[in-house]
Structures are given as C-alpha cells and as structure tokens.
Amino acid sequence: MIYKEKEDLKYVLCYTRKPQENLIYSEKLAYSMHLAYSEDGVGFQELNHNSGILFAKATENDNGSLNAKSLKNPYIFYLADGTFGILAVRTGAEGENDEESKGRVLLFTSADLLQYKEIGLIDLKGDTYISDIKCQYDEDKKVYIICWSDESGNYYKNFTADILNINSASIPEKTEAFVIENVNTEIEGVVPRNVISVSMEVAHHLICKLIVPTNVEIKVPESVNITSEKELKVVKATAIYSDGTTAMKNVDWNLSEIDWNKSGKYRITGKVHQDHYEFPIATDRADPCIGKWKGKYYFIATNDADGNHSLYMREADNIPDLLKAEEKLIIDSNMYEDIKGLLWAPEFHIVEGDLYILHGATSGEFFYEESHVMKLKKDGNPMDAKDWSRPHRVVKKDGNYLCEEGKTISLDMTNFEIDGEYYVVWSQREFLPEDIGAWLYIAKVDPKEPWKLISDPVVISKPDYGWANNNVFVDEGPFTLIRDGKVFLTFASAMIDATYVVGILCADKNADLLDPASWTKGNYPLLTSRSALGEYGPGHNSYVIDEDGNVWNAYHARPGVNGPRSSGLRRVHFDIDNYPVLDLTEEKDLNPELRNVIMDIIVR
C-alpha cells in the first residue's frame, strides 16, 4: 500500500533502549530518543530500524575537544505554538550522572520530530540529580508546568511562561508523584516513555522519512508509436514506492514478435531491468570510489589486503563490468621515497577538465598521514601508473603544509565544484598536545593546482553526537552529492568497526559554504549496522551517476561483525523531501513480482 495523509496514523511513542554489547548497540546509541508510530495508540511499529533519532550534543572544552553526552527519560510535549518540545535527563556518555546537568534538564524543540534544535539545560533550581521528567503547557494560564523527580524519590514542579528562556523557571515546589502510562510493545530492547498524538501530516512525514520505502507498483505506457528498436530502448518503466516517490527504470523488451519492416500494432512483453550487486562486490576493499572519465568507468579503493601499501584501479565500459575487471597497480609504497604506506581513501575528481586522484599517504608512521593529490598527465591513460604525477602534499594558502607532521594528520579529502569555484573538505585530527578528535574542515582550492588552498580552513563538523563519537571521536570520509539546489555532504563517523555509520550535512547551493552556519547536520545517521541485514559498520561512501542518471552509492561495510572491510554498491533513492535514501536494498528497490510488463507498440 502507499501511505497517504488521509490514513489515521497519529500516535507517536518515544523511548530509549537497553544497551547491548559495544559493537552491537552501546550505551551511546541506546541512550538516545527513539520513535515508534501507531494507528490506534496500542500497537506500535519502530521507526528508523529501531535506531535513535535524537541525541544529546557533546559539550566542548577550551581547546575544542569534546565531552560525550547521552540522554535518558525523554518526554515529548506540545509547545504553545503547536510545535514540539522534548525534555530529557542529560547524562554522561555511558548513562552515568552528569555533573554539569545537576538540577537541570535538557530541552529540544522540533517542528516535525525529524530535525531538532538543542536549546540547552533548563535550570530547575534544585541541587540534586534529576531522574524523571514530564511537561505540559497550560493553555488557560499560559504557563508550562515541569514535573520532575530526584534520585531520592522526591517530586517537584516548576512553572515558566517562556520555556525557551532556560533560566526562567520558578523555584521548585513539592508535588504529588506522577506515573507515565506504561506501553506494552514487542520492540526489541524498548524502554518506553510517553505517547503523544500527532497530526496526520506529521505522522505521514515520519513514516515516509523513517521507514524505508518499498516498490509497490510499476507503470509503463499503454502504447507507444515508434519506428525502430533504438526508439523503443528509451521507453522506461516508472517504479512507484510506498511513500509516493518514483524512479525511472530501463526495460529489457522481448522483440522477437516485431517485424520492423511491417507497420502495425504489436503487443510485447518486457522485464524491468535491475543490475545485481551482491554484497560484497570486493573483499578487503574499503573507502571505495567509482569515477567516470572519457566514456569509461573506474573503480579504486583502499587496499586492506596488503596493509594499505598499494592502490589498484579497475576500468570498464559500464558499472556492472567493473566487478570482474582486471586490477592494475597505480601507486605503492615503493614508488616514492616519501610515500611509505597508509594509502587511504582514494577518490577520482575532475577539476577544470583534468583528472585527479585525492588520497592519503604517510612518509613514515600513522602520525605522519597527510592528504595528497595526483594528476593524470595530458592525454594519459588512467590505468598506466606512469601517466600519473608524483603525489602532491596539500598546502595552505601561505604555502606551508596543511598539517604539522607528527602532530596533526589530514586524510579523506574530497573535492567539489559550485559555479566555477572548487572546494575541498577533509578530516583533520590533532594529536599533540592532546588528541582532540577528527573534525571536518572546508576550504577553497586553486583549480590549476588543486592541492593548494586559497582560503583558510574552516571547521564545519565535529563528532558531537553519540553515534559519531562511539568508541572514538571521529568525523571523516566526506563526499558531496549536489542536487536540486542542495549540497548534501555525507560523512563517516565513529570507529572503523561495526559501530561505523554515515551521517549527513546539508547546505543550500548558493549559501556561503565557508560559513559553518550554512550547514545543517542531521540528528541521526543515514546508514548503520541496522540498515541492511548482515552489513556491519557501513561507511566512507562516495557517489557516481551512471549513463541513465541513476545515482549509485559505493560504500564499505563488514560481512559479519568482525568481517573484513569490503565494498558494496546500492542505488541512491530520493525521499519525499528529495533527500538521499541510502538503505533502499535491491528487493525494496524493485519488487520481483512486478518486473514483468506488457505494452503495445505501433510501428510506423
């Protein structure tokens, strides 16, 4: 069925989860707000693969390093303007008491329960740790009533006319105990909180955004007028999905009954085309990238099989043929005296008509890893190592190297163009005097020498959510997808194990991309170990657009919790807001029972 706003889907349950083992669902993930929906307020279905939607932001120290936070006991309520407020008890990363939050409760606002703004800690003026919370707005008195309990079992209430003013709450008054109505549900690991009724519009939007769409219908024209087989090949099928979105599909038509030399009407059958990419498409290949250059497709990835000492490339006429194409060595740790290994995250980029490979490399150990750029010689063959320049180490606009060797590393640099201006985004991590984590930076580059910055680096993301600092504070692996006036920048976060995930930043194409305020970060990751069965720690992805206009997501994941990092490939769908959907698996992309189609053609 296709979900429509007229359906009475209007109950939302918020909950947290019981933590599991670290690599499966740690405290940093479990102690976040999850959502489930119900048509009748009784039977609830989890949203977003039973993964968190709302996470508490880390706090920041003077040197920029972060203190991870989690949340417990979230409570959704309506604000005076009809939008949503969420109160929660902020905790330390593992759910322990948070000294900074003593006597305070964390407030978020949201218009749609998808994107949230963290307002801050409301001071409830009590010198005690808060254990539970609820809130409601009294329309008659025009005041919010915040009820809470402490660890000793005492109950209090505060009043405020302006809940967004975090210092405006009254002195707490003792009050009677409250109980949040229990919800019985079979959702795995659920720690239920409150249920709130929502408009059909809000419910519809949540369902369409947080349940992976499935193919529910295929349409082809009833009849077409054509003169040749070539004209028939451009007739496509329209795949319709449960959220109302669509995608165009090629059809493999049976032409055996057609006499192209005889005018008339013919009824033909066909099968909607789908290329099959079983995971993994390449074992021991991480950070994959597929590029197009002069009518050919190329595949390159980090080589885990030899400890990251080499980069190999494949070439084919189309994407499916890349899977069986021969690999050829492009660079290894024996070619140049200053390239000793850790050849990481290679990417193809075309800058003013020239082909480049951006990659990481070290001149010694891990702490010397830095971003580099290789250029293909004019009229060179991408598959010939001799036609690639020596790697150029990236430099700042003053000519000095981007990072100080042995102190700060840079890696995972990507390149994109907006209106003739070229930008790079990369991951940078300072280790000395203190490891402050890996952050995403952006700068403009000289298109003639795209290893030279022409603006100062600017931080646009830190690993401030629990899913991003799970086991390690890391944002890395950025790559852009530019579509309909938006710049989508996906990136990988957390440790490169089963906890690895893909997050997203978004900016308007015409915004000042060097201004961090132009970028909006999604509160929750787009791709996790719960997104596709048997694929653990998906991350470090890239995009390529094929000859039919389909966008493909190349990513790595592990076939098993402790399996080798291996490459996968999946079509990118676009949701009702035209945002990328990265977890649309093949069986949801095209229903096998709907593949067979019939159409009349009129040969003229």
Question: Domain holding 246: CATH number?
Answer: 2.60.40
Torsion sign across C-alpha atoms 358, 333, 403, 392? negative
pLDDT level of residue 4 (50, 70, 90 thresholds): very low
CA 576 to chain centre: 16
In the three-class reduction of DSSP (H, G, I as helix; E, B as strand; rest coil), residue 30 is classed as helix
Give Cβ neighbours of residue 70 (< 8 Å, ≥ 6 apart).
Answer: 27, 28, 31, 32, 55, 56, 90, 91, 92, 93, 94, 95, 466
pLDDT tens digit sequence for 498-547: 999 999 999 999 999 999 999 999 999 999 999 999 999 999 999 999 99
Query: What CA dihedral angle connects 501, 293, 343 and 359, to 10 degrees?
Result: -70
Q: Which helix (H) or strand (E) holds 45?
A: strand 45-46
Q: What is the mean pLDDT of residues 562-585?
A: 99
Q: Which of 210, 232, 255 is the last residue of a domain?
A: 210
117-143 exposure pattern, b = at least 16 Cβ within 10 A, e = fewer: ebbebbebebebbbbbbbbebeeeeeb
Q: Are residues 84 and 143 in the same domain?
A: yes
Asked, for residue 376, whether it belongs to a domain, the answer is yes
pLDDT tens digit sequence for 450-496: 999 999 999 999 999 999 999 999 999 999 999 999 999 999 999 99
CA–CA dist 126, 273 (Å, integer) = 64
Angle at CA of residue 77, ends 71 and 78, nearest 5°: 140
Q: What is the mean pLDDT of residues 110-121?
A: 98
Asked, for residue 1, whether it belongs to a domain, the answer is no
Per cent of the chain over pLDDT 70 is: 99
Name the residue with tokens 């940078």. 428
Name the residue with tokens 């957390």. 494
Q: Are residues 180 and 246 in the same domain?
A: no
Asked, for residue 2, whether it belongs to a domain, the answer is no
Q: Give the domain extent around 55.
A: 11-210
Asked, for residue 510, whether it belongs to a domain, the answer is yes
Furthest C-alpha separation in the chain: 91
Query: Does residue 103 contact residue 43 with C-beta atoms inside 8 Å?
Result: no
Question: Domain holding 204: CATH number?
Answer: 2.115.10.20
Q: Are residues 245 and 311 in the same domain?
A: no
Asked, for residue 3, whether it belongs to a domain, the answer is no
Q: What is the mean pLDDT of residues 142-147?
A: 98
Q: Which residue in 332, 323, 386 sits closest to 359, CA to CA? A: 332
Q: Are residues 322 and 191 in the same domain?
A: no
Query: Does residue 45 contact residue 483 with C-beta atoms inside 8 Å?
Result: no
pLDDT level of residue 604 (50, 70, 90 thresholds): confident
DSSP code per residue over 554-595: EEEEEESTTPPPEEEEEEPEE-TTS-EE----HHHHS-GGG-
134 pLDDT above the threshold of 50: yes
Query: Does residue 517 contact residue 459 with C-beta atoms inside 8 Å?
Result: no
Q: What pLDDT, on a 0 to 100 scale, did the predictor assign at position 88?
A: 99
Asked, for residue 5, whether it belongs to a domain, the answer is no
Q: Which of 210, 236, 252 is the last residue of a domain?
A: 210
DSSP letter, residue 395: B
Residue 500: half-sphere exposure toward Cβ, Cα within 13 Å: 24
Asked, for residue 539, whether it belongs to a domain, the answer is yes
pLDDT tens digit sequence for 428-461: 999 999 999 999 999 999 999 999 999 999 999 9
Give the 3-state DSSP-derived string for 192-219, with helices as H, strands as E and coil as C.
EEEEEECCHHHHHHHHHHHCCCCEEEEE
Q: Which of 210, 237, 265 is the last residue of a domain?
A: 210
Q: Are residues 466 and 574 in the same domain?
A: yes
Number of separate domains in the chain = 3
CA–CA dist 464, 443 (Å, integer) = 21
Q: What pLDDT, on a 0 to 100 scale, did the predictor assign at position 521?
A: 98
Torsion sign across C-alpha atoms 15, 18, 20, 22? positive
